[in-house]
């Protein structure tokens, strides 16, 4: 038996749409451990990762998902009742069971079929069976177990799984109370605009053929609002399945004032180079890392406030990820953290931390 929490290969069967997406994108940034400081002059070239891979071109108009209308029309009251009962069962089981893992080829076909399901209206001929019978692939809801045949799944069976997942998530979404921006918060359109401006400015990329999705969330004990904007190619699953390189972007925006707090490029095909102790020593003697961060803040971000210091953040997590994180301190108490890929100095992420009220006084 294989126990997989929540779903199979990235398709969560027990998650309201977008909640999982936000959880995966959210992260904690280690606090700076100041261990090196130096002032520098000169302007080294800063590589922009987006310049290496062309934007996905779409011949006609951008594709439009057909899922919502389809689900609204076809999900029955009986299906809603049964899906809610299954969700309640999973609440106490914590996970579903799969009798085997999908193969790599099944996974790739599933990604392509998922795109066709979303944009082309491709549907299975039948629904996924919910109990044992005269078929080899089914969900035994009484045991929360997906029974997979020893042979490879057919496209029809993969479509049945995809269809069931979307239908189940749709039912869960009917009772999910989506957080809404407060009256004082900026609108979704404004958040999308801020995200577009930030990505274009930092990575010099054409976003005209990219799909934008905005999530408003309230995080932490204080339930602080935040906009998260995801920017990615249409038919991303197909690109991933075919092994084609592509970029996507995640942007966090403060809903109160529209300040962009975090702009990150996601590059699935990038091969990390973990930083060893020997490499770390050389990096700390190489002032170009600090100057590259200053250049990004001053020239790419366009922040005209005075920079009073730059330091490399020492953290084993960064070393494992092959990232050199540079803290750029501004005179007014605010700061940026520029995460640079090793060894290319490609910008991965720019995080902004506003000045605390105490530092402003």
CB 266 within 8 Å of CB 287: no
- Rounded distance, CA 250 to CA 318, Å? 19
What pLDDT shows up at residue 16? 40
- Rounded distance, CA 217 to CA 121, Å? 30
Q: How many CB atoms lie within 10 A of CB 63?
A: 14
278-311: pLDDT as tens digits: 999 999 999 999 999 999 999 999 999 999 999 9
Among the listed residues 270, 225, 231, the one whose alpha carbon sits nearest the alpha carbon of residue 250: 231
CB 236 within 8 Å of CB 248: yes
47-74: pLDDT as tens digits: 444 444 444 444 457 788 889 999 999 9
**Could you tell me the pTM of the whole model?**
0.80
Residues of the chain with pLDDT under 50: 1-59
What pLDDT shows up at residue 179? 87
Pairing of strands 96-98, 2-4: antiparallel
């Amino acid at each position: 038996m294989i126990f997989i929490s929540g779903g199979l290969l990235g398709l969560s069967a027990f998650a309201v749409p977008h909640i999982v997406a936000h959880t995966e994108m959210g992260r904690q940034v280690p606090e700076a451990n100041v261990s090196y400081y130096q002032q520098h002059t000169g302007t080294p070239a800063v590589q922009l990762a987006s310049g290496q891979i062309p934007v996905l071109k779409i011949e006609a108009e951008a594709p439009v998902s057909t899922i919502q209308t389809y689900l609204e029309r076809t999900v029955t009251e009986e299906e809603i009742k049964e899906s809610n009962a299954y969700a309640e069962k999973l609440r106490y089981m914590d996970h579903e069971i799969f009798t085997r893992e999908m193969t790599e080829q099944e996974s790739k076909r599933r990604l392509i079929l998922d795109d066709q399901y979303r944009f082309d209206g491709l549907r299975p001929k039948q629904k996924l069976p919910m109990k044992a019978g005269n078929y080899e692939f089914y969900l035994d809801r009484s045991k929360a177990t997906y029974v997979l045949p020893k042979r490879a799944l057919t496209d029809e069976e993969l479509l049945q799984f995809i269809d069931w997942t979307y239908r189940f998530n749709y039912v869960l979404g009917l009772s999910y109370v989506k957080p809404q921006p407060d009256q004082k918060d900026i609108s979704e359109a404004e958040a999308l605009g801020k995200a577009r401006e930030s990505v274009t400015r930092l990575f010099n990329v054409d976003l005209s053929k990219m799909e934008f999705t905005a999530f408003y969330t309230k995080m932490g004990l204080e339930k602080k609002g935040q906009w998260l904007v995801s920017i990615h190619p249409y038919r991303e699953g197909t690109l991933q399945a075919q092994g084609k390189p592509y970029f996507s972007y995640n942007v966090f925006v403060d809903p109160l004032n529209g300040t962009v707090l975090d702009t990150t490029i996601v590059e699935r095909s990038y091969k990390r180079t973990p930083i060893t102790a020997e490499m770390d020593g050389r990096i700390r003697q190489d002032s170009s890392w600090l100057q590259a961060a200053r250049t990004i803040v001053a020239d790419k971000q366009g922040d005209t406030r005075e920079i009073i210091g730059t330091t490399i953040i020492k953290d084993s997590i960064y070393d494992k990820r092959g990232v050199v994180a540079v803290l750029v301190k501004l005179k007014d108490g605010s700061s940026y953290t520029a995460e640079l890929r090793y060894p290319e100095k490609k910008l991965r992420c720019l995080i902004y931390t506003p000045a605390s009220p105490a530092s402003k006084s």
